Structure 1
Amino acid sequence: MESNHEAPERLEELRAELTGYCYRMMGSIFEAEDAVQDTMIRAWKHQEQMRQQASLRAWVYRIATNVCLDRLRSAKRRALPMDLSDPAAVVAEPKETLPRNSWIWPAPGSVDDPAHILISRETLRLSFIALLQLLPPRQRAVLILQEVFRWSAAETAGALEMTVAAVNSAMQRARATMAKAQLRSETVQPHDDEVDEGLITRYVEAFEQYNIDALLALFQENGSLSMPPFTMWVQGSADLAAFYQTTRSHCVGSQMVPVRVNGNRPAFAQYVPSGEGGLLVPWAIHVLETGDGGIAHVHHFIDTELFIRFGLPEHR
């Protein structure tokens, strides 16, 4: 049992890993950080109970799981655009959007506790987060605790107030669902963690120069891009060219600032001209999926509040 002095201090030390847990549960860094804060408040309200726990971690994860389950009770499944529809048949300026709570959003690269990075980097890929959202919330919790954080069935059962048999059953069903899933976003995920830095550099140069031919040359044959909260996404060289031409007036003069997201994948914050004395303002976070010498997909996450969550400046 942890001492009266150690328990409150240890609680704050768990914040980073709890954020990683809640992000995988919720699919949104906005929701994850709110859920962790709610967890901390609930834990502090029961300080005496906290000090009496044989396992502080299990007790706090039980609270965090209940917070997430409460929030997910009436929530719809979050997704990526390419998992909701076919690519656009006609490329035009995107107009149709869905609410923020419809989408999976990226998280800062530091979302996890450093001790878990080597274990869990794969499980922070956007495609894996999308897969997790297919699971009922309690199965999701079981799979995350066992597959990501490497908890035993007994530890998981203790944290979730389940029997070991129930945990094993939930894990079996979760794995079966994941194995059968055929999300399109899975097809664009990198096969390894090796990043082609030259390719990334050329992408930034081509985008900042808004050289459409140079951009197209970087994509794989069936390369694609999406832009939540817009539902439309495009695929193939001709449609990518049409899209870049359609959005030229908005994007010319952009500057790209490197950031790291979801297990330190390469990404960039795009600042666009505001028309006010050369001031550049936040527009989108670009997350690149690369492999085999080219770009498979670019996620453009268009939500200026992401810039705040990532600690980025409000203008340049």
Structure 2
Amino acid sequence: MMELDLKRNVGRNPERNLERHLERHRTELTGYCYRMLGSGFEAEDAVQEALVRAWRTYDPDRGPLRAWLFHLATNVCLDMLRGPQRRARAMDLGPAATPGAPLGVPLPPERWIQPVPDARVLDPADVAVGRETVRLAFVAALQHLPPRQRAVLILRDVLRWSAAETATLLATTVASVNSALQRARAALPATAPLDAEVDEALLTRYVTAFERYDVDTLVSLLREDATSSMSPFTWWLRGRAAVHAVLLASDAPCAGSRLVPVRANGCPAFGQYLNGEPFALVVMEVAGGLIAGQTTYLDPGLFPLFGLPMSFEPALRTDG
């Protein structure tokens, strides 16, 4: 029905009507490009380029607008993925560190899976279905696949395109699509499930303990096998005991922080302010009612993407 409406109305006021119809697809396209690229910034760049190309080239007689947009977005993403290195999480790059080990040399931003706001990639009508497929671990797992296999798996298993639709989009055959999907499924690393809903009381306890630097309470909220990482460093920890040891030895560097809640990658997240200045974005993964993973991004440049202010009243520093 929307495509018929587009054919009927583009001619009346082509610029305004085409722009309106293009914008209807922005969230879905951004989610697709994010899964392909592993970066919210790059995903938005890719979508913008696809929309510009669609503005210049779309003809309603050619076929549905949505299919043409995904064709363009796929080509943009494949072009952007020609480099030799894939984005990853710290856990993909080496073994867990031991408490007391140095952080090491930071890696450049293009090496990391970056977080993305839920609102940019999840359709409110489909948020429960899409949440699992934008988790940091799942997006990192996708990066192990060759780009075309990655596109096939996302289109078929995440966005539920048919094999025929996917073949048309990729200018290939149904048999080729089915073969690529089979190989992608076999090669995709497994990811552990997370809680669909997170207990708000858990998050409240976490915020209170974090802002007071209450180490014992913070550690009590972790699973025994919890992980903690801190981009842009490959250093990461596994296990409640290791996290506890590092927190006790670190002389409370984040005491007095303020946490502002946001949503990232289908998970609760927080903008962390230190002395009133943006310091880090913290993404929480919760499983079994406890914190299973904490990924800290030491990049204040992420704050505008999440609509977070660039200054915030600091909390009073406390000793517990």
What is the TM-score normalised by the length of structure 2?
0.88
Unaligned runs of 5+ in 2: 313-320
Contact 1:116 1:149 in 2 (8 A): no
Contact 1:282 1:304 in 2 (8 A): yes
> 2 CA distance for matches of 1:139 and 1:76?
16
Contact 1:119 1:149 in 2 (8 A): no
> 1 CA distance for matches of 2:90 and 2:150?
21
Summarize the Cα distance change of 1:297–1:119 in structure 2 as closer, same or farther, 3 Å threshold.
closer
Question: Structure 1 residue 109 and structure 2 residue 118: aligned?
Answer: yes
Selected match of 1:309 from 300, 305, 312: 305
Shift of 1:29: 0.4
Deviation digits for residues 225-280 of structure 1 (CA, Å, limit 9, x no counterpart): 101111101123342123224544531110000101112x111111111xxxxxx1
Summarize the Cα distance change of 1:149–1:268 in structure 2 as closer, same or farther, 3 Å threshold.
same
Question: Structure 1 residue 146 and structure 2 residue 156: aligned?
Answer: yes
Summarize the Cα distance change of 1:56–1:225 in structure 2 as closer, same or farther, 3 Å threshold.
same
| 3-state SS in 2 of match to 1:305 | helix
> 2 CA distance for matches of 1:161 and 1:56?
17
Contact 2:34 2:42 in 1 (8 A): yes
2:59: which partner in 1? 50
2:317: which partner in 1? none
- Percent same amino acid among aligned pairs? 51
2:35: which partner in 1? 24
Contact 1:7 1:51 in 2 (8 A): no
Summarize the Cα distance change of 1:20–1:75 in structure 2 as closer, same or farther, 3 Å threshold.
farther
1:277: which partner in 2? none
Summarize the Cα distance change of 1:75–1:33 in structure 2 as closer, same or farther, 3 Å threshold.
farther
How much is the aligned-residue C-alpha RMSD, in angstroms? Answer: 1.8
Deviation digits for residues 67-94 of structure 1 (CA, Å, limit 9, x no counterpart): 0000001141111111221111242452
1:85: which partner in 2? 94
Shift of 1:202: 0.9
> 1 CA distance for matches of 2:164 and 2:126?
20
1:276: which partner in 2? none
Shift of 1:115: 3.6
> 1 CA distance for matches of 2:311 and 2:168?
47
2:315: which partner in 1? none
What is the TM-score normalised by the length of structure 1?
0.89
| 3-state SS in 2 of match to 1:258 | strand
> 1 CA distance for matches of 2:271 and 2:97?
25
| 3-state SS in 1 of match to 2:59 | helix
Q: How does 1:140-179 map to 2 (within 5 A)?
A: 140-178=150-188
2:273: which partner in 1? 271
| 3-state SS in 1 of match to 2:138 | helix
Summarize the Cα distance change of 1:114–1:50 in structure 2 as closer, same or farther, 3 Å threshold.
farther
| 3-state SS in 1 of match to 2:260 | strand
| 3-state SS in 2 of match to 1:227 | strand
| 3-state SS in 2 of match to 1:250 | coil
1:213: which partner in 2? 216
> 2 CA distance for matches of 1:171 and 1:207?
43
> 1 CA distance for matches of 2:20 and 2:152?
27
Contact 1:93 1:246 in 2 (8 A): no
- For structure 1, which segment, 64-73 or 234-243, has the greater mean C-alpha deviation from structure 2 after superposition? 234-243
Aligned-partner residue type, residue 286 of structure 2: T
Unaligned runs of 5+ in 1: 274-279
Question: Structure 1 residue 63 and structure 2 residue 63: aligned?
Answer: no
1:234: which partner in 2? 237
Selected match of 2:288 from 292, 298, 304: 292
